[in-house]
Amino acid sequence: MGKRLFWLAVGVGVTAVVVLKGRELYERLTPKGVVEQIERTRSGLFEWAGEFLATMGEAMDEREEELRDALGLDE
């Protein structure tokens, strides 16, 4: 009787996980879910691009200053 109860509990647990994960997958694959994924990806891309451009601008300014000092253009 103990083994049967154990396997029943395991089956119920596995079924619950499969149903919950299946529901999440279903919601992600609906048109609304796809639009949400695209919006998240787009906003992440814009953040990354903004950080990249800011870092690039800082590096360019720093390098220009180094070159001006090396060539003595600021004197």
Strongest mean pLDDT among 1-10, 29-38, 57-66: 57-66
Counting the structural domains of the chain, the total is: 1
Residue-number span of the structural domain to which 35 is assigned: 2-71
- Residue 75: pLDDT above 80? no
Average pLDDT over residues 43-56: 95
- Residue 35: pLDDT above 90? yes
The pLDDT assigned to 1 comes to 81
CA atoms of 52 and 23, how far apart (whole Å)? 37
Sorted by sequence, the CB contacts under 8 Å of residue 33 that are 6+ apart come out as: 27
Q: How far apart are the first and last CA of the chain?
A: 92
Angle between helices 2-29 and 31-71 (to 10 degrees): 70
